[in-house]
Every structure is written in C-alpha cells, then in structure tokens.
Amino acid sequence: MTGTVLIVDDESAGRDTVESILDGEGYVLLMATNGAQAIEMARTKQPDIILMDVMMPGMTGFEACRHIRSDSDLAEIPIILLTALDDRKSLLTGLDAGADDFITKPFDRYELRARLAGIMRLNRFRKLVQERNNVEEEHKKLQLAYDATIEGWSHAMDLRDKETEGHTQRVTELTLKMANALHIGEENLAHIRRGALLHDIGKLGVPDAILLKEGKLTDEEWVIMRKHPIYAHEMLSQIEYLRPALDIPYCHHEKWDGTGYPRGLKGEEIPLVARMFAIVDVWDAVTSDRPYRAAWSKEQALAYIIEHSGTQFDPEIVQVFLKVIKKEM
C-alpha cells in the first residue's frame, strides 16, 4: 500500500476513469462527488493526496482547493487538479488556488501515475522531515525538563546544606569556564554542567546530624560523610541520561597523589572533568563564609591551590585554573 487517494469528480465516468488507471497500483481509493464532500472527507480521512476535477456544480475545484489550503488541518495535503481546460489562465488560477499540479483531460494514464507517484514521494519526504523535526523538538523539550529537574535537585541541596547556599551555581559556572579553557568539546558541556550541579547529590544519603554538624566530625562520622560520592554513583547510575555526568559526583574528592576517596584513584586515573572540578570546588569552599570559619582571601586560596599542586591537584590543570581565575578577580 502506497497511500490514500481521494478522487473528486461530479461525474461517475470521471471517477471510474481515474479508478481504472490507479487500480492495481496499491493505493486506497476514496470517492467524493462534489467540493463540499471532498472537504469533509479530507477532514475525516486525511488522504495522502487529492485528485480533483475543476468543473463541478456548486463549488468548483478551484474553490474547494482554496478552502482546503485555508484550513490549517488540511493545508498540507497535496492536490492535483484534473480538467478539460487547457488555457494559460486556468492553469494560473489552479496554481494560485494552491494546487500542486494540473493535468489536462484527456490524460495519459502513465503520465497520471507518474505525476501522482512523484508528488506522493515528495509528500512522504516532507512528512518524514516534519516528523524528524517534531522528534527533535520534543527531545529538546525533554532535555529542558530534565535540566529543570536537575536545577531543582541542586537547589534543594543548597537549601538543605545552608552553609553552602549558592555554592552549586557558582562552581557550575566556573567549571564551564574551565572546560572551555581546556578546549573540552561542546558535546560534553551539557554533561559537565549536570555533573557540577549534582556534585553533592550523594549528601542526600548523609544524616542531618552529620551533614549539619557545626563542630568537627568524628572519625566514625567522616567514614559516613566520605560515602557521599558512592551514594551519588548509586543514585545517578540508575538514570541513563545522567550516566555521562557521573565523573564529577563520583570522583571529585579523589586526589592527584592517590590519597583521596572513595576509590583512591591516582593521577590520570581520575577523570579529567573531576580533576578540573576538584580545584573549582575547593576554591569556592575556602573563599566562602562558613559557620566555623570566615572566608579566606582570594590570595590565601590561590596560595593553597598552588601549594597543593602535584599532591591534591593535577599540576597542569592548576596552571589553567590560575589563568581562568585571574580573569575573574
């Protein structure tokens, strides 16, 4: 089956002629005897193409064509006008009415089949393009919905851990600047952004008594606190579209010299984006006020990062960070 064809002609002989020509071509054939009926059938049956006679009583093919083109639900249906009129004025009138093609009677059966098949192919291609565009548009909407959800999660984390309010947004913005400075591909930026926004999502698994404790944590409490990257991995790895964003939540507490957690990764075993984020995270943490200490000056924070280059931080990325942060200061 190659499509549905609506044949419109007030004369049965005209309908029978077109039907005989298209018989055996695989089309589903529908019949209408006037313009008004054609419009109604176009609305209810949504044919793939309309073959319409011009000279019909009550409503001509030109008028029916204009009506169909003015209806947003029908306007995309291709129309071939069939007529005994062969003058230039009639041709221009048909095209002006919105016809896609104009075939003069008596017509050659092979020509009609060929023109019909050609327009059907173009219409199928148009529909495929439209469907693809619709899928892409829906995909964009879905991505926006996903990202809005992530923004909500990160905001909820900031509200819960009041001492770091605003931290997530700041580190996300600076991380993206670092990614650009390191020439990380555009296709990865969305994953990096999501990972930065969700870097502390694992803290949802840490009890308030530990997360919000004002004093120093005990050794036992630190064991629980240091599990938050593992909790993040357990949470996010179950969500397919967030798996590419896992490196930051899972690995940003690893250290260049292998003394970090949760897996004790060393050097380039640590994913690049996590090495990058680790510096940004520490920078924002030490330059922000906390209940148990005042914010460090930017000079103090820079000195700390430089001092720990090659132990806590990747020394090459430290150099990139210094260039980026000096533009921010």
Q: List the structure tokens of 199.
A: 């870097």
Distances (CA, A) of 219 to 112, 141, 179: 86, 46, 35
Model confidence at 100: pLDDT above 90: no
With bands split at pLDDT 50, 70 and 90, how would you rate the model's confidence at 267? very high
Q: What is the pLDDT of residue 165?
A: 61
> Within this chain, do residues 210 and 302 fall inside the same structural domain, yes or no?
yes
User: DSSP assignment of 137-204, as one string?
Assistant: HHHHHHHHHHHHHHHHHHHHHHHHSGGGTTHHHHHHHHHHHHHHHTT--HHHHHHHHHHHHTTTGGGG
> Within this chain, do residues 122 and 178 fall inside the same structural domain, yes or no?
no
> Within this chain, do residues 105 and 215 fall inside the same structural domain, yes or no?
no
> Within this chain, do residues 118 and 172 fall inside the same structural domain, yes or no?
no
Q: Range with the lowest mean pLDDT among 47-56, 103-112, 157-166, 213-222?
A: 157-166
Q: List the structure tokens of 162.
A: 């009041």
Domain assignment present for 139: no
Query: Which of 207, 214, 205, 175 has its CA nearest to residue 193?
Result: 175
CA distance 8 to 199: 64
Model confidence at 181: pLDDT above 80: yes
> Within this chain, do residues 256 and 174 fall inside the same structural domain, yes or no?
yes
Domain assignment present for 148: no
Model confidence at 253: pLDDT above 90: yes
> Within this chain, do residues 186 and 309 fall inside the same structural domain, yes or no?
yes
CA distance 140 to 144: 6
**Mean pLDDT of the region 178-185:** 93
Q: Tell me if residue 295 falls in helix, strand or coil.
A: coil
> Within this chain, do residues 100 and 172 fall inside the same structural domain, yes or no?
no
**Mean pLDDT of the region 9-25:** 90
Q: What is the pLDDT of residue 246?
A: 95
CATH number, domain of 166, equals: 1.10.3210.10
**Mean pLDDT of the region 154-159:** 72
With bands split at pLDDT 50, 70 and 90, how would you rate the model's confidence at 284? very high
Those residues whose C-beta lies under 8 Å from the C-beta of residue 40, and which sit 6 or more positions away, are: none
Domain assignment present for 175: yes
With bands split at pLDDT 50, 70 and 90, how would you rate the model's confidence at 161? low
Q: Range with the lowest mean pLDDT among 55-64, 221-230, 288-297?
A: 288-297
Range of the domain at 121: 3-132
Q: Range with the lowest mean pLDDT among 88-97, 178-187, 239-248, 251-260?
A: 88-97
Q: Which of 111, 132, 153 is the last residue of a domain?
A: 132
Considering its fold, how many domains does the chain have in total?
2
User: DSSP assignment of 207-244, as one string?
Assistant: -HHHHT-SSPPPHHHHHHHTTHHHHHHHHHTTSGGGGG
CA distance 89 to 83: 13
Q: Which residue has the higher pLDDT, 121 or 69?
A: 69
Residue 101 phi, psi (nearest 5): -155, 165
Count CB neighbours of 153 within 10 A. 17
> Within this chain, do residues 300 and 252 fall inside the same structural domain, yes or no?
yes
Domain assignment present for 213: yes
Q: What is the pLDDT of residue 234?
A: 92
Q: Which residue has the higher pLDDT, 76 or 309?
A: 309
> Within this chain, do residues 120 and 198 fall inside the same structural domain, yes or no?
no
CATH number, domain of 79, equals: 3.40.50.2300
Model confidence at 245: pLDDT above 60: yes
Q: What is the mean pLDDT of the chain?
A: 87
Q: Range with the lowest mean pLDDT among 154-168, 275-289, 295-309?
A: 154-168
Q: What is the pLDDT of residue 199?
A: 93
> Within this chain, do residues 82 and 217 fall inside the same structural domain, yes or no?
no
Q: What is the pLDDT of residue 292?
A: 63
Q: Range with the lowest mean pLDDT among 36-45, 115-124, 249-258, 280-289?
A: 115-124
CA distance 217 to 206: 13
Q: Which of 117, 132, 147 is the last residue of a domain?
A: 132
**Mean pLDDT of the region 279-305:** 87
Domain assignment present for 156: no
**Mean pLDDT of the region 147-159:** 75
> Within this chain, do residues 59 and 115 fall inside the same structural domain, yes or no?
yes
* Residue 254 near residue 264, CB atoms below 8 Å: yes
Domain assignment present for 178: yes
Rg of the chain's alpha carbons, rounded to an integer?
34
The amino acid that residue 213 corresponds to is: K
Q: What is the pLDDT of residue 306?
A: 96
> Within this chain, do residues 87 and 231 fall inside the same structural domain, yes or no?
no
Domain assignment present for 236: yes
pTM, entire model: 0.60
Phi-psi region of 267 (alpha: psi -120 to 50; beta: other; left: phi over 0): left
Model confidence at 162: pLDDT above 70: no
Q: What is the 3-state secondary structure (H, E, C) of 103-137?
A: EECCCCHHHHHHHHHHHHHHHHHHHHHHHHHHHHH
Domain assignment present for 70: yes
